[in-house]
């Protein structure tokens, strides 16, 4: 199973540039409003200091956002990946077979057929998940203290992976990917 990383933290160059431009427009608006507030205060409107303080707070927050976006832009430029998930450094773009997918994690789990309980699980950030079948099956065999194990997989595993599993008394039954 794959889980997509947090969409609000996914960044790519175009999105960061768009977000910076939007933030700059908001900063310009706040600066314009501050000028208007100052003009109104000069004309004797008494409630303007409260508005000025609120605008100044908003302006400070926008400048922090712009700095954060610029730092993200610099960090992304230094990386090989074209997409980065801030706060989730292990998330990687996956699924290039048909089309690029959003950054994700592989979340394999082993569920006992009779009990329905999760026997083992792990998180992998590797788009090539062919090695996970054997690792997860071995972990399940250990937890279940079983001499042999029958696993249900999708049909994407190579004969070499299946042969390695069978050498360790792990038999696989493939479920067609088309049925997913």
Q: What is the pLDDT along the chain (180 residues), one digit of tens a residue?
A: 456 677 778 888 899 999 999 999 999 999 998 888 888 778 877 666 777 888 889 999 999 999 999 999 998 888 877 787 887 777 777 665 566 667 776 667 777 767 776 777 666 655 556 667 777 778 888 877 888 877 777 666 666 677 777 787 877 766 655 444
- Residue 122: phi and psi, rounded to 5, are -160, 170
104-130 b/e (C-beta count within 10 Å ≥ 16 → b): bbbebebeeeeeeeebbeeebeeeebe
pTM summary value: 0.57
Alpha helices by DSSP H, listed for the chain, are: 13-42, 48-77, 132-144, 159-166
| Residue 3 · residue 104 · CB < 8 Å | yes
* HSE toward the beta carbon, residue 67, CA cutoff 13 A: 6
Domain parsing of the chain, residue ranges: 2-85, 107-179
Task: Tell me the C-alpha distance between 46 and 12, whole Å.
Answer: 46
């Amino acid at each position: 199973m794959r889980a997509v990383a947090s969409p609000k933290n996914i960044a790519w160059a175009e999105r960061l540039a768009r977000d910076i431009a939007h933030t700059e427009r908001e900063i310009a608006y706040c600066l314009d409003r501050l000028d208007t507030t100052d003009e109104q205060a000069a004309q004797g409107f008494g409630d303007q200091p409260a508005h000025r303080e609120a605008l100044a707070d908003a302006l400070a927050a926008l400048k922090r956002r712009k700095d954060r976006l610029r730092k993200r832009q610099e960090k992304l430029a230094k990386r090989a990946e074209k997409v980065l998930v801030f706060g989730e450094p292990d998330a990687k773009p996956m699924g290039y077979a048909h089309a690029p997918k959003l950054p994700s994690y592989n979340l394999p789990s082993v569920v006992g057929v009779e009990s329905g309980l999760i026997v083992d699980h792990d998180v992998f950030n590797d788009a090539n998940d062919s090695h996970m079948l054997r690792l997860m099956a071995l972990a399940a065999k250990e937890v279940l203290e079983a001499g042999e194990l029958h696993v249900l997989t999708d049909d994407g595993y190579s004969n070499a992976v299946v042969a390695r599993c069978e050498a360790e008394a792990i038999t696989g039954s493939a479920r067609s990917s088309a049925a997913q």
